[in-house]
């Protein structure tokens, strides 16, 4: 609070007549006798009926150094449970992929391959022995041209279109 | 009751065991100042009493969540100011009386008020204050009667110090002119 002297000086500069009316500083208002004591008692009676408000954490209060670890404790716990589940799956159910494949019949495998034939690369299938490569017919362009000239009259339009 | 600092009061209030004691300390420290702050705006004691009770209940309900960004005093004054302005605006909306009639009413009301024993000068001052815009009246009261610094008023009303100085200057000039013209 500023000293009242400064406030009075400021007022004297702005409103000198008002500044001289020292009695005007008192507003003239009164309160009933013992008002403030009764007010306190009345307010405390009313607040006793209100459920106690729960304080929340305050940003200005410095958290202890270990609080970060405490906050992360549940995350660590969850990670440990997940790790335990994964490990137990391997320990108590040690089936390998070969053993799992044995359970698939040859018929099922063939059926699967037929259904998904387009999903496999030819080179890969050859490599795995699933497909036997055949020799590709190398056509001589000049020989084809000569054959076509010699037999052009014997070939109908439809056959020609299919060859081209 | 021993007088405690704001920090001590807040520490009591934040501890559920001492909450009621903390609130008692808060009342002891602030209820009177808040009452006069409200009364100067509301004029009527019964109105001021109603407003103050609402303010204190509101404070009780929300003090546990008071973050301490502002001073306790500033926070309390802000709640009291808002509650008073809301009350006065509601009252103003219900009233259909013109300003001139309002001033006559105010004079009659104050003369009949058992809780007003002001002199002629004090009565004229109240009439002069009643003619000011709400914000100017508030600033004038806080500076003239409560002797708050501009910084404190600025924090309570969330208005710049420059704007407050201008408000106070205009208010003081208007009041001076009115009182000069009406006080022998």
CA angle B32-B33-B37, nearest 5°? 115
Question: Is B20 an interface residue toward A (CB < 8 Å)?
Answer: yes
Measuring CA to CA, how many Å separate B124 from each of A7, A8, B37, B176, B182? 21, 20, 19, 10, 7
Count interface pairs A-B at CB distance under 8 A.
Answer: 135
pLDDT < 70: residue spans in chain B: 97-100, 184
Question: Is B169 an interface residue toward A (CB < 8 Å)?
Answer: yes
A4 contacts B147 by C-beta, under 8 angstroms: yes
E strands, B21-169, in order: none
Mutation choice for A interface testing from B32, B35, B125, B149 by most A CBs within 10 A: B125
Beta bridge partners of A29: B116
Cα radius of gyration rounded to whole Å, chain A: 49
What pLDDT is attached to residue A112? Answer: 75
Beta bridge partners of B116: A29
E strands, chain B, in order: none
Q: How far apart are CA A93 and CA A76, in angstroms?
A: 26
Q: Cβ A29–B116 below 8 Å, yes or no?
A: yes
B137 contacts B165 by C-beta, under 8 angstroms: no
B106 contacts B130 by C-beta, under 8 angstroms: yes
Measured between CA atoms, the residue of chain A closest to residue B60 is: A47
Q: Residue B176: count other Cβ atoms within 10 Å of its Cβ.
A: 19
What pLDDT is attached to residue B1? Answer: 72
What pLDDT is attached to residue B93? Answer: 81
Q: How far apart are CA A122 and CA A111, in angstroms?
A: 18
CA dihedral angle for residue A36, residue A39, residue A40, residue A46, rounded to 10 degrees: 180
What pLDDT is attached to residue A141? Answer: 75
C-alpha neighbours within 13 Å on the C-beta side of residue A154: 5
What pLDDT is attached to residue A80? Answer: 76
Residue A56, phi then psi, degrees to nearest 5: -105, 165
Q: Cβ A29–B179 below 8 Å, yes or no?
A: no
Residues ≥6 apart with Cβ < 8 Å to B39? A27, A29, B45, B48
CA angle B71-A46-B157, nearest 5°? 30
pLDDT < 70: residue spans in chain A: 1-3, 22-25, 53-76, 90, 93-104, 113, 117-139, 155-157, 159-164
What pLDDT is attached to residue A55? Answer: 57
Q: What is this model's ipTM? A: 0.85
């Amino acid at each position: 609070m500023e000293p009242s002297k400064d406030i009075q000086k400021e007022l004297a500069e702005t409103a000198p007549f008002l500044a001289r009316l020292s009695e005007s500083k008192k507003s003239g208002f009164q309160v009933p006798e013992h008002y403030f004591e009764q007010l306190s008692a009345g307010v405390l009676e009313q607040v006793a009926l209100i459920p106690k408000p729960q304080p929340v954490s305050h940003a200005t209060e410095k958290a202890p150094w270990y609080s970060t670890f405490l906050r992360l404790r549940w995350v660590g716990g969850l990670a440990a449970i997940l790790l335990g589940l994964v490990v137990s799956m391997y320990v108590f159910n040690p089936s390998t992929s070969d053993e799992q494949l044995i359970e698939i019949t040859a018929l099922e495998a063939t059926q699967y391959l037929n259904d998904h034939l387009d999903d496999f690369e030819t080179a890969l299938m050859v490599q795995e022995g699933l497909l036997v490569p055949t020799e590709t017919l190398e056509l001589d362009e000049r020989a084809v041209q000569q054959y076509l000239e010699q037999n052009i009259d014997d070939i109908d339009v439809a056959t020609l279109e299919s060859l081209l | 009751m021993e007088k405690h600092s704001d920090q001590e009061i807040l520490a009591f209030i934040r501890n559920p065991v001492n909450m009621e004691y903390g609130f008692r300390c808060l009342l002891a420290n602030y209820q009177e100042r808040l009452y006069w702050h409200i009364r100067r705006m509301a004029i009527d004691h019964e109105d001021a009493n109603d407003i103050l009770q609402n303010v204190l209940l509101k404070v009780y309900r929300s003090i546990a969540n008071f973050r301490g960004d502002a001073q306790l005093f500033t926070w309390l004054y802000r709640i009291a100011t808002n509650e008073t302005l809301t009350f006065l605006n509601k009252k103003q909306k219900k009233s259909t009386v013109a300003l001139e009639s309002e001033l006559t009413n105010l004079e009659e009301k104050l003369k009949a008020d058992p809780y007003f024993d002001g002199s002629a000068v004090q009565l004229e001052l109240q009439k002069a204050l009643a003619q000011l815009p709400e914000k100017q009246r508030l600033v004038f009261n806080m500076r003239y009667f409560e002797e708050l610094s501009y910084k404190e008023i600025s924090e309570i009303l969330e208005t710049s110090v420059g704007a407050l100085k201008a408000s106070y200057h205009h208010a003081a000039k208007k009041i001076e002119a009115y009182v000069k013209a009406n006080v022998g």
